[in-house]
Amino acid sequence: MSSKFIVRGGNRLGGKVKVGGAKNSALKLMAAALLTEETTVLTNAPLITDVRTMAAVLERLGASVRYSEPDVVEIKPSYPLYAEAPYELVSQMRASIIVLGPLLARLGRARVAMPGGCNIGSRKIDMHIRGLEVLGARIEVGHGFIEAYSEKLVANKIVLDYPSVGATENLLMAATLAEGVTVIENAAREPEVADLAKFLNKMGAKIEGAGSSTIQIEGVNKLHGVEYMVMPDRIEAGTFLVAGAITGGDVIIEDTIPGHLELVINKLRSIGSIVEVYKTEIRIIGSDSIHAVDIATLPYPGFPTDLQTQFMALLAIAGGTSIITENIFENRFMFVGELNRMGSDVRTEGRHAVIRGVPSLSGAPVKAPDLRGGAALAVAGLAAEGVTEVSDIHHIDRGYQNFEHKLRMLGADIERVGE
């Protein structure tokens, strides 16, 4: 039997919760460790399933990966490295595609299975491929694999059609060892991209402008091993903020960077919560009456798609009608059917969801369809009447470390059963 969360709703959350290292940064830093033969040590690394999957990918490529509790990952990509990332691993996690750029830059070739991963839309990789071609790589796609070759990558100007996070990061890593100065325009501005650039610069890369839409990378011959602390996870922080708001609680999120959540905090205030911002902490005091608001997801600094489902759970019990527009991934409404089983009134039409607030949700058996949708269902359960059973929680474990434990510390009635 696979595990489930049993959530008994109705408790107001209170107290302090520490946020871990960012999944979406840690995975890229691990891949970037392939760019040197020296040892990389990551601290504040979240020990979640996706990090373990990336570790398995790196091990398959010939690196050794060691964890030490509570949050240290040590990577040594000893020589020789293999250039092939197999389907059995890449299919578990789409983000594995991020090894393409580093492998190509370091070995001059890479063979990476076409990704599967989170079941949220078609998620193409054309911009990764086109960008690497602009840097001089020869790429063939066929038989379920992407094969890339290049004796030496040569710097160039790359203009992305869209500020894709993964494409920006793959190209950023590849360009660190290319000959000359690469410029990426219309680059993704997510804080995780800036974190990756900071890490690469510590390794000896010469990158300017990461975090803005133009990034300049002067190629170097060699990078070296470093110790680096992964930035805090803004999506985990946002999820606990919603858990505080939906239960009318009083929660302090610790070890976070409030500046990464500006728009999210504004929305919580519009919804009626009181939010106090400190240097590395955010306090949320939820209100008993939740106001309806409209939300549109957009690339950073816009509203993050990774918090869209959690906010929908919150708006499900608002006094009024809200509209959520999902502009990033076409299939991120998959959890709506499950949420409606808990008594919400949500209708979707293409990219739009119309959420008519109901007075309360009712506990029900539901299935986590994906990572963020699963977390949102557990959060909805905190505010629902009666018992919510969330199954398929392996999706939630991909991105949240000790999720139920942290919620329990805040006073939630949630337990994991089965294994």
Q: Does 335 bind ligand UD1 (CB under 6 A)?
A: no
Which of the residues 35, 113, 118, 246 is marked catalytic?
Answer: 118
User: Using an 8 Å Cβ cutoff, are 118 and 370 in contact?
Assistant: yes
Distance (Å, rounded) from C-alpha 309 to C-alpha 315?
Answer: 10
Q: Of 29, 26, 34, which is closest to residue 76 (Cα–Cα)?
A: 34
Minimum CB distance to ligand UD1 smaller for 124 or for 152: 124
CB of 351 to ligand UD1, least distance (A): 11
Q: Which CB atom, from 95 or from 184, has the smaller least distance to ligand UD1?
A: 95
User: Half-sphere exposure (CA, 13 Å, Cβ side) for 273?
Assistant: 31
Determine the interface stretch with ligand UD1 among 4-12, 120-128, 257-265, 274-282 (rule: CB under 6 A).
120-128
Is 159 a binding residue for ligand UD1 by CB under 6 A? The answer is: no
Separation of alpha carbons 169 and 152, rounded Å: 19
SS3 378: helix
H helices of 220-330, where?
234-246, 262-271, 308-315
Q: Which is nearer to ligand UD1, 272 or 304 (CB)?
A: 304
Q: What DSSP character marks residue 12?
A: P
Q: CB under 6 A: which stretch of 123-131, 247-255, 266-274, 352-360 binds ligand UD1?
A: 123-131
Q: Among 118-126, 151-159, 268-276, 350-358, which window interacts with ligand UD1 (CB under 6 A)?
A: 118-126
Nearer to ligand UD1 among residue 165 and residue 290 (C-beta): 165
- Interface with ligand UD1, residue 317, by CB under 6 A: no
Instruction: Give the x-and-dash track for 171-210 against ligand UD1 (CB under 6 A).
Output: -----------------x----------------------
Cα within 13 Å of Cα(337), Cβ side: 7
The 181-185 sheet, strands edge to edge: 157-159, 181-185, 214-218, 206-208
Mark the segment that binds ligand UD1 (CB under 6 A) among 58-66, 119-127, 206-214, 276-284: 119-127
- State yes or no: residue 132 binds ligand UD1 (CB under 6 A): no
Judging by DSSP bridges, how do beta strands 227-229 and 365-367 pair with one another?
A: unpaired
In this chain, which of 167, 200, 312, 316 binds ligand UD1, going by CB under 6 A?
167
Identify the residue among 164, 182, 344, 401 touching ligand UD1 (CB under 6 A). Answer: 164
How distant is the alpha carbon of residue 64 from its chain centre?
Answer: 24
Among 7, 95, 158, 293, binds ligand UD1 (CB under 6 A): 95
- Rounded to whole angstroms, the Cα distance separating 242 from 233 reads 15
Give the nearest distance from C-beta 287 to ligand UD1 in angstroms.
28
Euclidean distance between the first and the last CA atom of the chain, given in angstroms as a whole number = 6
Question: Is 232 labeled as catalytic in the residue annotation?
Answer: no
Question: Going residue by residue from 290 to 309, which x/- string records binding to ligand UD1, judged by CB under 6 A?
Answer: ---------------xx---
Residue 346 φ then ψ, to 5°: -120, 130
Minimum distance from residue 319 beta carbon to ligand UD1 (Å): 29
- Taking a C-beta distance cutoff of 8 angstroms, is the pair 282, 261 a contact? yes
Tell me whether strands 227-229 and 40-43 are parallel, antiparallel or unpaired. Answer: parallel
Task: Read off the tokens for 129.
Answer: 């491929």
Active site members: 118
Which residues form the interface with ligand UD1 (CB under 6 A)? 24, 27, 95, 122-128, 162, 164-167, 188, 305-306, 328-329
